[in-house]
Chain A
Amino acid sequence: MIQLKTMLNCIDNSGAAVVECAMIVGQKRHASIGDRIVVVVQKQRPSAGEGMGGSSSSKVKRGDMRHAVVVRTKQRVQRRDGSVIKFDDNACVLINRAGDPIGSRVNGVVGQELRKKKWSKILSMAPMQA
């Protein structure tokens, strides 16, 4: 149940760590796994090369407005066969306007609902799907 002001973990290597939901794209209700949202980057991930490059590895900055796809929700999501999945956190992956992921890798499990919503690029980047 991602809605306005929901804080989500960003699980790609775009440089964002925590983002806040600002809008749900294309629908008037809360977002679930596979839905597109607009987020504001609230916290940056500390970059590995802190001394030299600063934020060279991070493609986004604090305060940036980006699009994202929800990949995990705390809210239970029911599937067609009656099974239900629930994660312990809300997480998303940043994308650009065309729908391509900004980061180059995804750390962590993502929901299988992405397959139904045609986010095959994110699915192929994820280490596992549940």
Chain B
Amino acid sequence: MSVAPLVRRPLGCLKTSLRQARQQRTTIRNMATETTASNSTSAPALEHGFFRLTDRKTKTLRSAFAVYPSTAKPAAPAGAPKTLLPPPKNPLEALHAAQIKKMDPTGVRTALFSKSNREGAKVGDILLVTHRRGGEPFAGVLLSIRRRGIDSAILLRNHLSKVGVEMWYKIYNKNVAGIEIVKRKPKRARRARLTYMRKPKHDMGSVDEIVNAWRRNRRVFTTGKPRKGGKRPAAAAAAGKK
């Protein structure tokens, strides 16, 4: 970077520098398309190649200038000019779908809280959430379901030693080993969020007795052998596989 000519002829220098910048930008663009092309050929075919995170084995990083997802036709002629591609249609939706597929390959978690599933968990049911990292499983009344794609979460409320406790759990969290429906609400709740259950008049209190009774009943129907970790009856709407 020479400073002297800049002082002497500021305008002309600005012009040249701008020109240089423009040239650089064009080269960067070309480089970007190159990298995408190479990516599309080398990476394994996935419906959203874009949303794959860094591969831990190969340690390949995504280029910051690449355009995703690659919609380049494979049969493009070699000598054809390479151009920037238009952005994907609905990138966020596709990202959520890809992430959910990664976190919940079997689809049980999605099914348990989907609106269309009649057997799924509804607001007002009593659920039991089991952790993978030890700790006591947390049971409580389902107060609300927060549907936000991969960030979907449920709100459970219970009383532990006479103190009301509320927990939000992400349903696609890998640490959440299982979510089981202990008891269904006999009548469908007419609200989407049962925040009124925090009031003393409507508070259910502790659900531990109901959960314990359900545990005892379940033991009657099984063979009596001690359960292996993570294995659950299929009817209990277990979520999460090894």
Query: Does B192 lie at the interface of the complex (its beta carbon under 8 Å from any beta carbon of A)?
Result: no
- Given known A87-B165, A109-B165, A130-B138, contact A81–B170 (CB-CB < 8 A): yes
Query: Does B30 lie at the interface of the complex (its beta carbon under 8 Å from any beta carbon of A)?
Result: no
Within B139-169, which residues are at the interface with A (CB < 8 Å)? 151, 153, 160-169
Q: Which of A87, A88, A112 has the most CB of B within 10 A?
A: A88
> Would A83 and B168 count as touching, CB distance under 8 A?
yes
Taking a contact as CB atoms closer than 8 A, the residue among A82, A83, A109 that contacts B163 in the complex is A109
Residues from chain A with a CB closer than 8 A to the CB of B163 are: 72, 87-89, 91, 108-109
Query: Does A128 lie at the interface of the complex (its beta carbon under 8 Å from any beta carbon of B)?
Result: yes
For chain B, give the interface size range: 10 to 19
How distant is B165 from chain A, measured CB to nearest CB, in Å? 5
> Would B165 and A85 count as touching, CB distance under 8 A?
yes
Chain B interface main SS type: strand
> Would B173 and A82 count as touching, CB distance under 8 A?
yes
Residues from chain A with a CB closer than 8 A to the CB of B166 are: 85-87
For chain A, give the interface size range: 10 to 19
How distant is B99 from chain A, measured CB to nearest CB, in Å? 13
> Would A130 and B165 count as touching, CB distance under 8 A?
yes
> Would A83 and B173 count as touching, CB distance under 8 A?
yes
Query: Does A96 lie at the interface of the complex (its beta carbon under 8 Å from any beta carbon of B)?
Result: no
Q: In this complex, what residue of A is CB-closest to B168?
A: A84
Residues from chain B with a CB closer than 8 A to the CB of A124 are: none
Query: Does B136 lie at the interface of the complex (its beta carbon under 8 Å from any beta carbon of A)?
Result: yes
Within A58-111, which residues are at the interface with B (CB < 8 Å)? 72, 76, 81-89, 91, 107-109
Taking a contact as CB atoms closer than 8 A, the residue among B160, B162, B175 that contacts A81 in the complex is B175
Query: Does A46 lie at the interface of the complex (its beta carbon under 8 Å from any beta carbon of B)?
Result: no
In angstroms, Cα B169 to Cα A117, docked, is: 22
> Would A128 and B160 count as touching, CB distance under 8 A?
yes
Query: Does A127 lie at the interface of the complex (its beta carbon under 8 Å from any beta carbon of B)?
Result: yes
* A interface with B by C-beta (< 8 Å): 72, 76, 81-89, 91, 107-109, 112, 127-128, 130
A-B residue pairs in contact (CB < 8 Å), sample of 5 = A85-B165, A85-B168, A87-B165, A88-B164, A108-B162
* B interface with A by C-beta (< 8 Å): 135-136, 138, 151, 153, 160-170, 173, 175, 198
Chain A to chain B: the 9 pairs with minimum beta-carbon distance, closest first: A88-B164, A84-B168, A109-B160, A82-B170, A86-B166, A108-B161, A109-B161, A81-B175, A83-B169
